[in-house]
Structure 1
Amino acid sequence: MRTLVHLSDLHFGRVDHTLLAPLRERIEHIAPDVVVVSGDLTQRAKSEQFEQARAFLDTLPGPQIIVPGNHDISLYNVFRRFVKPLARYKRYITDELAPFYLDDEIAVVGVNTARSLTIKDGRVSREQLAAIRAQLAAVPASVTRIVVGHHPFDLPDHFEDGDLVNRAPRAMQSFAQSGVDILMGGHMHASHTGSTAQRYQICEYAALVVQAGTATSTRGRGEVNSFNVVRVESQKVEIDRYGWDAVHHHFELVATEKFIRAGNIWTAQNEGLMAAI
């Protein structure tokens, strides 16, 4: 079994600093094999915000798979936005925009969905999808395949289709060819887990979607600060959601969902939700 901590939308520059130490302590206690951060490390892509994000990431265990979000591209500086959109991200966080982790149980592929030509929306290109297919083609069939991006490839019904990453249907067809098992993302500041089967009717294929809320931002959008712990086995995935307890000042387990795989189709196990925020 492999354990991944899934953080998203840290938004340094709009961070509740009282959460940082309890979050770090909880992650240390979980002792993950991999830490995943699905974008928006900063609020406005400023150097000091990236420095703060880097300092916090350095307190967390590794290896780390990190991808940028739309907030990690300068908004008001036109030169930086269109000529050097991720220069500061590369300087302070990582110059690897397509990070990759592989061991004998999991393969984790990061994809950059942030773009200069849009304020908040994201996109995945044909070249990126081809690169993911090439990476996963060399991965043994027994390995669980995970793709991490900032913008979501799937969302619950009450969200607009426009909230999905651009070219999501094409991406899903590509992921089906590669046997991608899990799609991790953020962006919406809303926690969600589920199967892609309802939105995407792809023969004998349904991936597991794991969306994270914001771990540390003051902009919760109606949801408490939270993060996910994803425990992966060959035919089973268990997802724990930890939420901020403002009374006791710690992150506590608030929900657990279990999914099982039959062939290339992931579905929810009956045990389902333990609790709700």
Structure 2
Amino acid sequence: MTCLLQVSDPHFGTEQPEVLHALERLAHALAPRAVLLSGDITQRATRRQFAAARAFANRLAAPVIAIPGNHDIPLFQLAARVFAPYARYSAAFGADLEPVFASDHWLVVTVNTTRWYRHEDGEVSPAQVERVAARLAQATPSQVRVVVTHQPVLVTRPEDRQNRLHGREAAVMRWTAAGADLIVGGHIHLPFVRPLDEHFPGCPPMAWAVQAGTAVSTRVRWDAPNSVNLLRAEATDDGAQRVCVVERWDYSAADQAFMPVDLVRLPLASRAAGP
């Protein structure tokens, strides 16, 4: 098996040292093929917070595929927000705001859904939708095709509806038609897995929304502790069915460790090779 570790919304500046250390131990024990860092890496986009986040990423001993979240753009420094919104992010995590990761078992295509003129919610443009679809279409049949956004394409609670990604309807339909298996995100600090076709009529079956909680921050929801997701690519014994296993790991203060608390086996559609 090969796995990816999804770490979302660490909000450096509000991180809890004991949780941070536990996550580092987990990453070393699991040895993921890559770490997906799905936004809100910092709390206030300061240089010190980005430096702490970069040092943490360096300690994970795995490639880190990162995208910015709305908190990773300066909020109170208007000139920086308007004229150089990603300067501090890029200094820490590179100038590519939409990196792609590919291996024998995975294709990960990321999307920068933040905008300097939006405080919390995000959006995806038609050009971004088409860029992602074109890259998905190039996947091999053995690759699990993952799209990473910061803001969610769907939510499960009424109070989170305003946090949904603008442009999500066109994006979900186009990306799943191009072969996306998972659309993973963060932002709302609430972990869940849901079938996309139940929320987007006409969407192909066996495509899934996977949301992560906040990994190490104090900014937890009352009913969702610090958590991360582990994605495992599998195949049935006869090779006829592709499967992605999503494991949720929650931080346990009693154990001072992340512990597995949920496991969902997601059947994936058969995919032809891209052009």
| TM-score (normalised: structure 2) | 0.92
Gap regions ≥5 residues in structure 2: 236-241
Per-residue deviation, residues 117-146 of structure 1 (Å, max 9, x unmatched): 111000111111111122222222332210
What CA distance in whole angstroms lies between the structure 2 residues aligned with 1:240 and 1:203? 24
Contact 2:176-2:203 at 8 Å conserved across structures:
no
Equivalent residues in 2 for 1:190-209, closer than 5 Å: 190-209=190-209
Describe the SS at the equivalent of 1:197.
helix
Counterpart selection for 2:253 from 218, 234, 246: 246
Match of 2:238 in 1: none
Q: Name the CA distance, whole Å, in 2 between partners of 1:177 and 1:197.
A: 12
Which amino acid counterpart does residue 63 of structure 1 have in structure 2? P
Residue equivalent to 1:273: none
After superposition, what is the alpha-carbon deviation per residue over 1:196-242, rounded to whole angstroms, capped at 9, x for unaligned?
11110125345211100001110102121110111112511111111
| SS across alignment from 2:200 | coil
Q: How does 1:3-42 map to 2 (within 5 A)?
A: 3-42=3-42
Alignment of 1:8-157 (within 5 A): 8-157=8-157
* 2:172 equivalent in structure 1: 172
Whether the 8 Å contact between 1:35 and 1:61 is mirrored in structure 2 is no
Percent of paired sites with the same residue: 35
Q: In the aligned structure 1, how far is the partner of 2:132 from the partner of 2:203?
A: 21
- Whether the aligned pair in 2 keeps the contact of 1:146 and 1:181 (CA below 8 Å) is yes
* Count of equivalent residues: 264
Query: For each residue in 1:93-117, what CA deviation from the matched residue of structure 2 results, as whole angstroms up to 9, or x when unmatched?
Result: 2211110111222100111011111
Cα distance change on mapping 1:237 and 1:132 into 2, 3 Å:
same
Task: Output the CA distance in 2 between the equivalents of 1:133 and 1:52.
Answer: 34
* Partner residue, 1:256: 263
Instruction: Find the aligned partners of 1:111 and 1:89 in 2 and give their Cα distance.
Output: 15
Moved over 3 A (4+): 157-161, 203-206
SS in structure 1 opposite 2:198? coil
Specify every segment of 5 or more residues in structure 1 that has no aligned partner in the other structure, as ranges. 265-277
SS at match of 1:112: coil
TM-score (norm 1): 0.91
